[in-house]
Structure 1
Amino acid sequence: MDQAFSPPYPQGGNDGCSHAVHPGSIQLHPQVQNQHNQPVVIVQPSVNMRHDPPAEPVPDYMCYSRFSTLCCCLLLGLCALQFSRATRSANAAGQRREAARNSQTALILNHVAVVVGIITIGAYIFYKFYLSDQKFNP
């Protein structure tokens, strides 16, 4: 029996749709025989896995990450931007737990970047206006 050129056989599924079973996916097991001493045909069902995005996606804080990158702290902002991208990808793949973890990390990094930016700007203003006057007026 040559199975290389035989057409797919239609088979009804449980969901009312007909599926094509290719003869290459049919395995004959001579060890297992039915009551008439004929080989039993075992067909492995196909598996369809879908990852639907969640109904309400986890926030990715992309705008906040861009702001903290450009205006506050470049290094921490870039890290937050990377986690925001990972959150967006996990949301698209339907992996809510990973998206929530990446989102929380991005939010923390953004907060730290803003605090570092405020401290840096405050120190610069303090130095520029207070300490520079001290040098010239002893």
Structure 2
Amino acid sequence: MAQAPVYSQGIYAGNPNAIHPDNIQFHAQALNHHNEPVVIVQPPVYQRTRASPADPVSDYMGYSIFTTLCCCICLGGAAIMFSRSARKANADGRRAEAASSSHTALILNHIGVVVGLICIVIFCLNQFYFKENYP
């Protein structure tokens, strides 16, 4: 392991804090056999990663977020959990688990949208129709 170079103080171009290149002294381990400085770099680190499948299963994350924000927060939150599970299984190459989680997320999203639409229709009927008939 090379140590940092040892510098000596000197005056260079009128600046008392500057160091002249001729005054730089390198540590013995930082020089090669021609007494030239050697650059020591850290070797690269390679990580083994699994490649994603060529045809990944859809995770319906956008649909899950829409369901959560616009329709039914409970079913949308559960759909987000299954969408994340499908995304992770896709990344790990577990296609069967990804397909199962994806299918569950899709069903929860469909149910959440239907529940949300029913609630919106009931709210609108209550606001505009029933309030006019009952003062």
TM-score if structure 1 supplies the norm length? 0.61
Segment of structure 1 superposing worse, 66-75 or 53-62: 53-62
Number of aligned residues: 88
Give CA deviations for 1:6-37 in whole Å, capped at 9, x if unaligned. xxxxxxxxxxxxxxxxxxxxxxxxxxxxxxxx
- Matching residue of 2:88: 89
Q: Which 4+ runs in 1 deviate beyond 2 A?
A: 49-53
Give CA deviations for 1:72-97 in whole Å, capped at 9, x if unaligned. 00000000000000000000000000
Q: Secondary structure at the match of 1:127?
A: helix
- Matching residue of 2:53: 54
Q: Secondary structure at the match of 2:125?
A: helix
Gaps of at least 5 residues in structure 2 are: 1-47
The 1-side partners of 2:106 and 2:100 are apart by 10
- Matching residue of 2:27: none
The 1-side partners of 2:131 and 2:74 are apart by 29
Gaps of at least 5 residues in structure 1 are: 1-48
Q: Does 1:79 align with 2:42?
A: no
- Matching residue of 2:9: none
Paired letter, 2:63: Y
- Matching residue of 2:121: 122
Choose between structure 1 and 2: higher strand proportion.
1
Bigger Rg, which one: 2
Deviation of 1:56 after TM superposition, in Å, equals 0.8
- Matching residue of 2:98: 99
Cα RMSD, aligned residues only = 1.5
Deviation of 1:135 after TM superposition, in Å, equals 1.3
Identical-residue share of aligned pairs (%) = 52
